[in-house]
Each structure stands twice: as structure tokens, then as C-alpha cells.
A and B are shown apart, each in its own frame.
Chain A
Amino acid sequence: EAGVAQSPRYKIIEKRQSVAFWCNPISGHATLYWYQQILGQGPKLLIQFQNNGVVDDSQLPKDRFSAERLKGVDSTLKIQPAKLEDSAVYLCASSLVVLGGETQYFGPGTRLLVL
């Protein structure tokens, strides 16, 4: 079974530029998550989708971050414009359903450096 795929693996941009990340979850997983992991911290949830609907985006900085999962499968996360403090690893995860206690499977992440 293929795991969670993410691209690109690395991205370097200058502040105020835009960037987009892509995620393809494990086949059949209805729930998709985007996390931000700053160096030295644990992952922090940005947004959670159930199929193509948003379940939780309370921690997403909506003035600059956006995410979509139009067909309920793959997803994109966009930052526009980027700030220095957005430098982090962006992790995508998926799970079968969202019931609580459902194991989340993570992709390798996209490492973003904003200069």
C-alpha cells in the first residue's frame, strides 16, 4: 500500500513570494490533515478535511494560508505572501475516518525555507 505522498520535498523562497504544496493521501482515507512543524517543536494542526469539507481550520492563518481538497482526494496548501516565520516542515497526514483515536499516517513533509 502506497503511503502519503507530498511534493515538493524542499522549497526555498523569498519573503512575500507565494508557494504551494501538494499532498496525495493513502487511497481510501477520507480524512486529510495539514500540520506545520517548526524546528524544535511538535507538529501543529493547520487544517483538517473530511472528504472535501473542512472540519477544523481554527489554527490556519487565513490571511495568508489557504487549502483545498476539491475532489476529496489530493490537497494543496498555499501560502501567499510568505513570511520568515513560515519556515517549517509542512506535513500532510491521512486517516480512514475521523472518530477520535484514529491513527494518522504522515507523509515525508515539505521543508520550506523563507529568506
Chain B
Amino acid sequence: DQQVKQNSPSLSVQEGRISILNCDYTNSMFDYFLWYKKYPAEGPTFLISISSIKDKNEDGRFTVFLNKSAKHLSLHIVPSQPGDSAVYFCAASEPGGSQGNLIFGKGTKLSVKP
């Protein structure tokens, strides 16, 4: 059973427009959420994170929103740039003894077209 779900395998947007990537989770005890970006043949790169005590975190063009009641988070990229084309993974920090254990979604491939 997947605890972190990214239901859109791919997303295509025009350069300059907003990209919205969605992520749902089932475990209400998750207390920390992260987004990673991955280019081909490279490891995932940390992008932005949010603690469960917040509902929004912003870093430049990237904003993550957290809706705890809906168990949903989203990553907004505005404006989108061709260099943002990559696979984006949502991850949640597992509670309990292994607090460093990240549970990843399957990823969403973002394509930003010039």
C-alpha cells in the first residue's frame, strides 16, 4: 500500500506559466514533507520542504502548500522555465524510531516547453 502518491506521471506546461505538482499521503502521522528534483543519470536533489506545523513554505519560484485535513500537498513553480524539466518526487518523513526514513512517491515528470 502506497503511503505517498503522485497520481500524475507526467505534466507539460508552457514556459512562463505555473506548474502545479500534486502529492497525496495516507499516513496522518507524517510530520515533514520534502520535494526532490531528479535529472536523468543524477541523484535526487533537494528542492524544498515543509513541516506539518506550517501550511506554506516559499523559496524563490518554488512554493509548497500543505493541506493536512486533505492529506495533500502541492508544489507550485512560477514562472516555469525549461531548466525545470525533470522528475519531481514528493517524500514524507516517517514518524517513530526511524525518523530519517523518507517515503517517496513514484514521481511526476515535468516538461516545460519553450
Residues of chain A whose beta carbon lies under 8 Å from any beta carbon of chain B: 4, 6, 31, 33, 40-45, 48, 55-56, 58, 91, 93, 95, 98-109, 111
Contact = CB atoms under 8 A, between A and B. Distances in A.
A106 B104 contact: no
B90 to A, nearest CB: 8
Interface stretch (B11-19, B39-47, B71-79): B39-47
B101 to A, nearest CB: 5
Given A40-B106, A100-B93, A103-B49, A45 B101 contact: yes
Contacts, number: 70
Given A42-B107, A100-B31, A103-B34, A55 B98 contact: yes
Given A42-B91, A91-B44, A104 B106 contact: no
A101 B45 contact: no
B25 interface: no
Given A4-B43, A42-B107, A43-B44, A101 B98 contact: no
Contacts of B91: 42
